[in-house]
Every structure is written in C-alpha cells, then in structure tokens.
Amino acid sequence: MALEVPGPSPVGRPIKIRQRKMISVNYKFCPVCAGDLDFSKFGDNSPICLKCGFKFYQNSRPTVGAIITDDSRKVLLLKRAKNPSIGMLQNPGGFLMFGEDPKDGLIREVEEEVGVRVSIGKFIGMYTDEYLDDERAGTYATLNLFFEAKIVSGKPRALDETDEVSWFSKDEIKLEELAFENTKQALKDFFANQ
C-alpha cells in the first residue's frame, strides 16, 4: 500500500548548501569528559574525543516555518529584529525545542513572533540550509520544514525578535529581501502549487 503523504509537494527540492567548508561548529571540548576534540577523522563536523573516545555527532538542526495566508492569498512576512540578517524578511517560524512535535513547535513560534494562533495546513516541503547563530560556536546546518497555515485568532503584530509584520502578495515579495534560502525555496514551491 502506498504511503499517504499530505500536500501536493511532499518533498521540496533540496537546496545546495553553499560554501560547505564554512558550515562548521567550533566546539573545543568533549561534553562528556571535557577532553580535547579531534575534528580530523570523520570530515562531517562530528568530532571525536581524544580522551574518552566519545563521538560528538552533529546533525542538521530542525526548524519549522509557516507560510500564513489571508483570504486574498497574501503571505505574512516579518522583518527580523536581530542578526543574522537583521532588517531582512522571513516567514514566521524557528527552531524546534528538544523533543518537540513539529506542529506544536510551529504554533508556539508563530505565537511568540507575531502574536496569532494558527491552524496548520498542508505540508509544503523540507529544505536544507545553514544558520549562523553565534560566531563563536560556528555555523549550523539546518533542516527546515514548511507548512501552510491560517490564522484562527488574533491580529498579527511584531513581538519577539520581530520589527514589523506585513502581508505581501506574490508580486510584492522580492527574493533579495528574504533572509534565508530556505524561505525562498519554500515560497517558490508554495506559489507553484497554487
């Protein structure tokens, strides 16, 4: 029996990770025993501890994003109030917490950033990207899951880490004003399936 997957585009086109060498964590010590870490053995940013042998696996960090539309098919975007990419636009969303269900995480992030409650609709796609959270720690690889969403209560307003929120029609969205590659790809897939 075929596996049933929600939405018209179960798997988004993966984007090529740019500047692969630049994506690297910059950890110095083993989280188990505080021994020195050796990054040379595996080449995937997963170091091994020279003292106790612990392999410190590094994985793409999961994020969730919402493409929220109104009745005229405009998309809600927010202007980022912090780096990276301060002043640029993105969709509401963010990193999942440890063990958090993706849809719960998306509802939480949207409420934190723009103050509205959403219902989650179709899955749009999943996209790999990168994110520089703290220059001291290095650049994380991310795995970004996108869903359509509709507001069920509240009026969008700029809250946590957000400067402004606005509705944009397809023609009003300028790709060069978007903060992240994963947002660009998700919006392209979203509009391609309308």
Q: What does the binding site for Zn ion look like in residue numbers (CB under 5 A)? A: 30, 32-33, 35, 49, 51-52, 54
**Of 14 and 31, CB closest to Zn ion:** 31
User: By the 8 A CB rule, do 150 and 76 touch?
Assistant: no
**SS3 category, 113:** helix
**Of 27 and 168, CB closest to Zn ion:** 27
**Of 29 and 168, CB closest to Zn ion:** 29
What order of strands is seen across the sheet that includes strand 61-68? 93-95, 61-68, 138-153, 117-134
Question: What does the alpha-carbon distance between residue 131 and residue 96 come to, in Å, rounded to a whole number?
Answer: 14
Half-sphere exposure of 25 (CA within 13 A, CB side): 20
Question: What does the alpha-carbon distance between residue 135 and residue 192 come to, in Å, rounded to a whole number?
Answer: 36
Question: What does the alpha-carbon distance between residue 91 and residue 68 come to, in Å, rounded to a whole number?
Answer: 8
Question: What does the alpha-carbon distance between residue 191 and residue 194 come to, in Å, rounded to a whole number?
Answer: 5
Whole-number minimum distance, CB 48 to Zn ion, in Å?
Answer: 9
Whole-number minimum distance, CB 103 to Zn ion, in Å?
Answer: 36
**Of 49 and 187, CB closest to Zn ion:** 49
**Of 30 and 76, CB closest to Zn ion:** 30
Whole-number minimum distance, CB 111 to Zn ion, in Å?
Answer: 39
Whole-number minimum distance, CB 21 to Zn ion, in Å?
Answer: 26
Whole-number minimum distance, CB 31 to Zn ion, in Å?
Answer: 8
> Per the structure block, which two tokens stand in for 192?
């391609």
